Amino acid sequence: MKQRIANIMNYALALPVAALIAGAVVPVTPAFAATNCDDPASTGINSAECAKGNGQSNSLTAEGGVFQTVTNILLFVIGAVAVIMLVIGGIRYTISNGDSAQVTAAKNTILYAIIGIVVAILAYAAVNFVIGSFASTT
């Protein structure tokens, strides 16, 4: 049982560590100079500014960038699933009728759901910290 909990904790810590490693590997891109999108002579890498929507970030890793949006959605889903499993574990505990095997299974469900919620919160904090530290301040 202790080995199983240790394995779960190792896997639970892998997500924040992976987020930190990914944040350290992804380079910070500088903001591009403004271009005149009405000028047909405006070509090169800065012409990508013309295809960008209003308020869209210059960098994938900036505040409100693609990485932050995707990770926030995934972490929300993980948190929602953990809360649902917490409720299911509570219902299983309530309807166990004192059967020790069912009580143990229900307690394990509740324990793993709480671990999942804690991991989701820590991963959210780690991702936002990494993105905030690598976001350009220009």
- Whether residue 75 contacts residue 120, with contact meaning beta carbons closer than 8 Å, is answered with yes
- Residue spans per domain, the chain: 2-29+58-134
CB atoms within 10 A of CB 15: 19
Per-residue pLDDT of the chain (138 residues; tens, 9 = 90+): 777 776 776 666 665 656 656 555 555 444 444 556 666 555 555 556 666 666 666 655 556 667 778 887 888 888 889 889 999 999 999 999 889 999 999 999 999 999 988 988 888 888 778 877 776 555
pLDDT at 123: 83
pLDDT at 89: 92
pLDDT at 131: 75
Q: What is the pTM of this model?
A: 0.51
pLDDT at 69: 80
CB atoms within 10 A of CB 29: 12
pLDDT at 92: 93
